[in-house]
C-alpha cells in the first residue's frame, strides 16, 4: 500500500533518526521533527504506516519503532 505525503515524512524522519542516532525516536521527537502538533497525531500516522507494512512497533518501549522496509519512498506516495 502507498503512503500519504505526511506518512512518508514520518517514515523518512524515523529512518534518518535511526541512522544518525542508532535508535528510534520517541513520538514527541517525531512530532517536533515533522511539524505535527501532537503525539496523538504521530501515533495515528505510525499506526497507519505499520498497517501498510513499513514498520513494526514494539510494545513496552518508548523508542519502539522497527523499520521493516523503506523501499523507494519517493515512489511510495498515495495519490
pLDDT tens readout for residues 14-50: 999 999 999 999 999 999 999 999 999 999 999 999 9
CATH assignment at residue 19: 1.10.10.10
Q: For residues 79 and 77, give the distance between their C-alpha atoms in angstroms, rounded to a whole number.
A: 6
Q: What is the pLDDT of residue 63?
A: 86
**In the chain, how many domains are there?**
1
38 located within any domain: yes
pTM exceeds 0.95 for this model = no
Q: List b or e across 33-53, with b for residues whose CB sees 16 or more CB atoms inside 10 angstroms.
A: bbebeebebbeebbebbeebe
35 located within any domain: yes
Amino acid at each position: 500500500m502507498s503512503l500519504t505525503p505526511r506518512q512518508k515524512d514520518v517514515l523518512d524522519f524515523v529512518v534518518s533518526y535511526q541512522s544518525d542516532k542508532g535508535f528510534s525516536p520517541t513520538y514527541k521527537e517525531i512530532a517536533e521533527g515533522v511539524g505535527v502538533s501532537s503525539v496523538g497525531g504521530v501515533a495515528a500516522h505510525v499506526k497507519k504506516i505499520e498497517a501498510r507494512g513499513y514498520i513494526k512497533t514494539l510494545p513496552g518501549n518508548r523508542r519502539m519503532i522497527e523499520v521493516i522496509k523503506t523501499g523507494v519512498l519517493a515512489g511510495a506516495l498515495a495519490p
